[in-house]
Structure 1
Amino acid sequence: MRRFLPSLSALHAFDASVRHLNFTRAAEDIGITQSGISRQIRNLEGFLGLSLFERSGPRLILTESGATYYEEVSRLLGKLEEASIDAVRGRKTQGILKIGLPPTLMRRWGAAVLTAFSSTHPQAWFEVYPCRHDLEFATSELDFALVRGTGNWSGARSHLLFAEELVVVGSPELLPAEGLPNDEALLGCPLIQNSARPSLWLHWLRGAGVSYNSRIYGPRLPTTDMIIECAIRGMGLAVVPEIHVREEIAEGRLRPAFRRRQPSGESFYLCYPESRIGSAGVRAFRDWFLAEFQRQRQFLPPAPGLHQR
């Protein structure tokens, strides 16, 4: 018997329409016209005998039937995509290590880690995915993640790499070569805020024993990379993990406000789900990475001449 299946083009249009809830943006996403998207959705609704969307002017609202259908369609399209990728690669996606790196770590020293691993394990295949530091390992598909925290992730094994230390930096236009004369001088400078980690300046000031009686003023930026770039351009002073600005300090693009670092209370860890402990690929990467990291720390740029408080 002929299978009761809609066309793949219709499912592709449906998937894009649900993700954007807008036919125009869905059409731009998959490279067809807006009328083409509308026609595919009408054909799919006619084939199923269901209303998948309600129209409210330019807005699309997914119906209850549409939401239920999409949950299964999205999963099956993902499996179909995975099977297609497997066919192109000539191996199963499940045999590829999935490694998670937060964006700043990915850009600043992820390349050194992964290049070293691929040169010593040329037969090992891996993919890298951006991830958050508060990753939920119990539900994640990642095999590994290099993340910051206190070492307690539910459903994961964690291996301590190094403690996070904070440093205050600014551009040479804002800071003299010898740094600020005292801790209190900070409060007279524009202080760039990290909206993802809003307590960093309070942590620094309390650790330094600086008294402050009013709000800490300064622009709020969403990522560490953006904060570092804006500090280089002279927007203000920034308190950032020292590991992320070693190269900028060495090259003279940033200067430390003080010749010391303060621990943040968090550390960087190599983590992997407990459910993956039996995987030979996971064990190989774990053992190689921990041995190399402890032996040379070759993945990290040289530390500048700062002192821990």
Structure 2
Amino acid sequence: MQTPRRLLPSISSLRALEALDRLQSASAVAEELSLTQSAVSRQLQALERQLGTDLINRDNKRLSLTAEAQDYAAEVRQALTQIAQSTLRLQTAPLAGTLSLAILPAFGMRWLMPRLPDFSRLHPEVTINMATRLEAFNFAGEPFDAAIHFGHADWPGTQSILLKHEQLLPVCAPSLLGDLNITSPTDILNLPLLHIQTRPLAWKLWFSGQGDVSSRSLSGTMYDQFATISQAALHGLGVALMPDYLIEQDLAAGRLVALHPAPVETSGAYYLVWPETKSRHAALTKFRQWLATQSQPEDPLPR
């Protein structure tokens, strides 16, 4: 569907609107855009005529945005940022293609990184730029082509492929146990619990899954990443409920001990997620097709 011309204002007028919202001064806008104040004023007037609505409050020659225009400017800022990011990617790798990927720190380090050399060997023409994200993200406001994220594949306006289910195991340092004998899940409650911000209900759900819904407190210390909570467990600060792929080596070396016979699968999983608008992105297509060959839950970790 062709977008009507009246809904596509000029980039220069949108830049003037965005800058006025951010700088709060017509003179500052003129300086930033290398224009005269009168030129800035003309661009804003042209934008108002095209949109058929008032955007600017003019009080003693001082310009400011209306409340509605402030909301509009915030959305325009996101669009301009996306245009700039896309232009930069095109200029830096016009032929080979680049992929901007958001990753979870622990999963990216322990699951994705060991596998990436294979992708680089198969597709040396593709450059992958990565940044870590722990919190929920919005593709409309972030310069990412795709993300590796944890959840239930229910992100609106996206497509996804399953990479790995998460299986959790309670672990601690041998020194923490002392003479305590763990014979049932409730025995774990005699030890301090370590919690992670991204899974605030993990311990409650784990105990419920064992049939032991204890009325005792599940309080404990909170950590923001698996990297920090695993270090806390290794130093004997408490029991951590950890994904099995993160603590295999520590268990094998005896640095940690498992307090349950087997990992328990959670309802969430790790996915590669991308916006529907990026479904034909060339570098992303190559990456997701390759990643699909790596995504079997039973696939052993590279050593």
TM (normalized to structure 2)? 0.68
> Which residues of structure 1 form unaligned runs of 5+?
6-13, 20-39, 50-62, 303-309
Show the 5 A alignment for 1:38-187: 87=91, 89=92, 91=94, 95-132=97-134, 134-137=136-139, 140-175=142-177, 180-187=182-189
For 1:136 and 1:70, locate their aligned partners in 2 and report how far apart those are by CA, in whole Å.
15
Could you tell me which of 289, 302, 307 is aligned with 2:291? 289
Alignment check: 8 A CA contact 1:164 1:266 kept: yes
Correspondent of 2:207 among 205, 208, 221: 205
| Cα deviation, residue 168, structure 1 | 0.1
User: Quick one: distance in 2 between partners of 1:280 and 1:70?
Assistant: 30
Distance 1:135 1:115 in 2: 27
What's the RMSD between the two structures over aligned residues? 4.5
Q: What is the aligned partner in structure 1 of residue 46 from structure 2? A: none
The answer (yes or no) to whether the contact 1:175–1:257 under 8 Å persists in 2 is no
Q: How far off is 1:177 after superposition?
A: 11
Q: Distance in 2 between matches of 1:79 and 1:85?
A: 10
Tell me how far 1:291 sits from its aligned partner: 2.1
* Residue of structure 2 in register with 1:239 after alignment: 241
What is the SS of the residue equivalent to 1:238? strand
Paired residues of 2:163 and 2:294 also in contact (CA < 8 A): no
Conserved 8 A contact 1:100-1:128? yes
Counterpart contact for 2:78–2:140, Cα < 8 Å: no
Deviates more, 1:165-174 or 1:213-222: 213-222
Assess if the C-alpha contact under 8 Å between 2:145 and 2:278 holds in 1: yes
Cα contact 1:102–1:132 (8 A) shared by 2: yes
Of the two structures, which has the highest relative contact order with CA contacts closer than 8 Å and spacing of 6 or more? 2
CA distance, structure 2, for counterparts of residue 262 and residue 160 of structure 1: 18
SS at match of 2:212: coil
**C-alpha contact (below 8 Å) 1:157/1:272 kept by paired residues:** yes
| Separation in 1, partners of 2:215, 2:192 | 16
The equivalent residue for 2:273 is 271
Deviation at residue 130 of structure 1 after TM alignment? 1.9
SS at structure 2 position matched to 1:270 = strand
Q: Is there any run of 5+ residues in structure 2 with no aligned partner, and where?
A: 1-11, 13-18, 42-65
Q: What CA deviation, in whole Å up to 9, does each residue of 1:71-127 have, x standing for no partner? A: 87887688667756765x35379x311222112212222212322211211111221
Structure 1 residues 174 and 74 mapped into 2: Cα distance closer, same or farther (>3 Å)? same
Task: Look up the SS of the partner of 2:255 in the other structure.
Answer: coil
Distance 1:99 1:176 in 2: 44
2: CA distance, partners of 1:286 / 1:74 = 26
* Cα deviation code 1:213-267 (max 9, x no counterpart): 2321321222222111111111100112222222222232221112212121112
**% identical aligned pairs:** 24
C-alpha distance after superposition, 1:190-214 (max 9, x if no partner): 1112233211110111111224223
1:142 Cα deviation from its structure 2 partner: 2.7
Asked if 2 retains the 8 angstrom alpha-carbon contact of 1:163 and 1:268, the reply is yes
TM-score (norm 1): 0.67
SS at match of 1:161: strand
Alpha-carbon offset, residue 167 of structure 1? 0.5
From 193, 196, 201, the equivalent of 1:194 is 196
